């Protein structure tokens, strides 16, 4: 049987289609991208998320001379939020990037690892996390993280206690 997965998203450049909070998240994502520690890639990423109590948490990429030690902006923000406010829902996350060595032609999407983490945050809180990917030319809005990663890894039995 052949099956097809469709992903629904909004693409716009009209800032008027965004709420005040969404615009604030975008400004914070740009600001935090500017202070990323990315001396190796010179590719700065910023993420800003809002919690159900309206608190905004930001994150940027943190690199290391031992390359695999580095971590993406999205996971810095998500893990900070879950660490500081483990019981609060994440409502939305805005993500952007600044490339210092080339011109970005489209909004950057989160990497596979960050998608997996975003999805587990959604499952943990049992509500959707809206995703806003943007650059100066385009804004992409997705209703939830799950739509970013079909066939994501999920195995509830890993949480089971051993007999
Ligand atoms: N990076 C992020 O921060 N988020 C992503 O979703 C993709 C990539 C960072 C990791 C690394 O510091 C730099 O961008 C280049 O890959």
3-class SS at 4? coil
Euclidean distance between CA atoms 23 and 114, whole angstroms: 22
Q: What is the pLDDT of residue 159?
A: 81
Q: Is the pLDDT of residue 14 over 70?
A: yes
pLDDT at 156: 83
Domain boundaries, the chain: 11-148
**Cα(161)–Cα(20) distance, integer angstroms:** 45
Give the pLDDT score at 157.
Answer: 84
Is CATH 3.40.140.10 the classification given to domain 11-148? yes
pLDDT tens string 19-56: 999 999 999 999 999 999 999 999 999 999 999 999 99
Convert the pLDDT of each residue in 103-156 to its tens digit.
999 999 999 999 999 999 999 999 999 999 999 999 999 999 999 999 999 988
Residues in Cβ contact with 47 at an 8 Å cutoff, skipping those fewer than 6 apart: 29, 32, 58, 59, 60, 73, 74, 76, 77, 78, 93, 94, 95
Closest listed residue to residue 89, CA positions, set 133, 54, 117, 46: 54
Answer yes or no: is pLDDT of 160 > 80.
no
Ligand 1 pocket test target in 41, 64, 71, 72 with most atoms within 8 Å of CB: 72
pLDDT, average across residues 93-108: 96
Residue pair 45/73 in contact by the 8 Å Cβ criterion: yes
Enumerate residues lining ligand 1, CB below 6 A: 38, 41, 43, 45, 61, 63, 70, 72-74, 110-111, 114
């Amino acid at each position: 049987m052949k099956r097809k997965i469709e992903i629904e998203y909004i693409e716009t450049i009209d800032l008027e289609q965004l709420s005040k909070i969404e615009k604030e998240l975008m400004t914070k994502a740009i600001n935090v991208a500017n202070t990323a520690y990315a001396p190796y890639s010179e590719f700065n990423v910023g993420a800003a998320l809002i919690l159900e109590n309206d608190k905004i948490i930001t994150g940027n990429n943190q690199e290391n001379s031992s390359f695999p030690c580095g971590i993406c902006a999205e996971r810095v923000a998500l893990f900070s939020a879950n660490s500081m406010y483990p019981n609060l829902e994440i409502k939305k996350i805005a993500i952007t990037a600044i490339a210092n060595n080339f011109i970005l032609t489209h909004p950057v999407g989160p990497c596979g690892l960050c998608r997996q983490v975003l999805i587990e945050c959604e499952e943990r809180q049992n509500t959707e996390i809206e995703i806003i990917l943007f650059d100066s030319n385009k804004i992409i809005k997705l209703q939830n993280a799950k739509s970013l990663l079909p066939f994501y890894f999920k195995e509830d039995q890993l949480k089971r206690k051993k007999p």
